[in-house]
Amino acid sequence: MSNFKKYWDEELETMSREEVKAYQLKLLKETLEFSYNRSPYYKQAFDKAGVAPGDLKSLEDLKKFPTINKQILRERQQAIPDFGDIACVPEEEMVYMSASSGSTGVPTASPFTAQDFEDFQDFEARLFWSSGMRPTDRYCHALNFTLFVGGPDVIGAQKVGALSIWAGAIPSERLLQILEQWKATVTWTTPSYAWYLGETAKEHGIDPAKDLAVKKIFVAGEPGGSIPETREAIEQLWGAEVYDYYGLSDIFGACAGMCEEREGLHWAEDHILVEVIDPDTGEEVAEGERGELVLTSLKKKARPLIRFRTADIVSYTTEKCRCGRTSMRLHGIHGRLDDMLIIKGVNVFPSDIEAIIRNNKDMTGEYRLRVSEKKHMTHLVVEAEHGRHIAANQLAELGGSIQKECMKIVGIKPEIKLVNPGELPRATHKAKRVIDERQLG
């Protein structure tokens, strides 16, 4: 075994839940006070809700404070360019910004002070260390650098001491060349792209499991990294371990990541306070239940976010991990609130269907969902590729068995349409899995 230490910051990572909460309460009080005094938006929002920073006596009191969301960020930025009245420092104190367009197009800026940026890369290093990255690794950063908050994470890898290769978003042939020539041991991409890249390698006569040195693949941006079936498929293709990460452009490139036990994603709770709520009632949901992830930054100064509704559906545990770390762990992202389909009264996430498709040895794993309206009912068609070894006369039986699985696991009976292997489009970035035909008419 190596002589490297086990934890990046043992005291911080193994403190008791009581200590975590006490520390968070102290930071939260400071954040509320700071935001109220510096940001016209927060002052007005708190006043309107009839709350003041002094009303926070315990972490539970946070629910009295108003939530914020992407739309408000966008509105405030448009009302007061370029950073909105949620920003708490003058521009001369900002040193970095990322921007993200989200699904509706207008990019919102996420500014950082020098200290915010330093904190960001320090805990990235801690997350990377927990995933087993060490100074002996070669890290190939294959994420986009252009305005993307994931770009700077390469600096976190350098803090770990790994030899960092700044590849960025480049054509897959070029990326494969870099991985091969410089024998990178760790890389980072989306789950769909990891799959695509592995398949592309094979087309070029490279077996990723034998010919490349990649032993760890970090993934983020899609639910796949926490769907065991998807993870296993990528792991077999690459002969490497897959680590799921969660990031949010409006806060940090990565806010949580898997340790080497890979049983959920550890949160950097000294930087971000997590709430999981029922999206309809706003009430907190119990540990293990699915709800909407709501985040509060605890140290950021350029633009603190208080109770930011992410629209990501998650569940969590606060049980101590086998790695010895005590931070809250997400079980993974089940989907986006806006991806959630309601089929005959049942909440369905594309990730639920994905698990069924990936788990079936007679399928390639590629799939797409088509949603339409039939006789005023939402109609779901699962289009999925059957494996090469399946003959035409076996299709009906295979489709039937997938439909049965959907009924058993998700509680709905979608129409199954099997297509030939290779027929569905391959994603090079975030896969578009849902085609909603209801909005087209």
- Sites of contact with Zn ion (CB under 5 A): 259, 261, 321, 323, 325
Q: Minimum Å distance from CB 322 to Zn ion?
A: 6
Alpha-carbon distance 280 to 97, whole Å? Answer: 33
Sign of CA dihedral 317, 14, 149, 217: negative
Question: Residue 131 CB, nearest distance to Zn ion (Å)?
Answer: 10
- Give least dist CB 226 to Zn ion, A: 14
As measured in angstroms, the least distance from the Cβ of 435 to Zn ion is 37
State the helix-helix crossing angle for 350-358 and 228-238, rounded to 10 degrees: 50
What is the token pair recorded at 188? 């980072």
Phi, psi of 128 (to 5 degrees): -60, -45
Minimum separation from the CB atom of position 335 to Zn ion (A): 24
184 touches 140 (CB < 8 A): yes
Please answer whether residues 156 and 141 qualify as being in contact, where contact means their C-beta atoms are separated by less than 8 angstroms: no
Tokens, residue 17: 């839940």
Question: Nearest to residue 233, comparing CAs of 245, 254, 217?
Answer: 217
- Residue with the two structure tokens 């950063």: 141
Q: Minimum Å distance from CB 251 to Zn ion?
A: 21
Phi-psi region of 381 (alpha: psi -120 to 50; beta: other; left: phi over 0): beta
Nearer Cβ to Zn ion (300/325): 325
**Burial zone of 261 (CB within 10 Å; 0-12 exposed, 13-18 middle, 19+ buried):** middle
Task: Name the residue nearer to Zn ion (CB basis): 323 or 356.
Answer: 323
Nearer to Zn ion, 269 or 385 (CB): 269
Nearer to Zn ion, 125 or 356 (CB): 125
Nearer CB in complex with Zn ion: 218/349: 218
Closer CB to Zn ion, 139 or 267, in the complex: 267
Task: Indicate the residue among 330 and 434 with the shorter CB distance to Zn ion.
Answer: 330
Burial 335-347 (b: 16+ CB within 10 A, else e): bbeebbbebeeeb
- CA angle, corner 393, sides to 392 and 397, nearest 5? 110
**Cα separations (Å) of 95 from 90, 149, 171, 271, 387?**
11, 13, 30, 19, 51
Q: Which is nearer to Zn ion, 320 or 379 (CB)?
A: 320
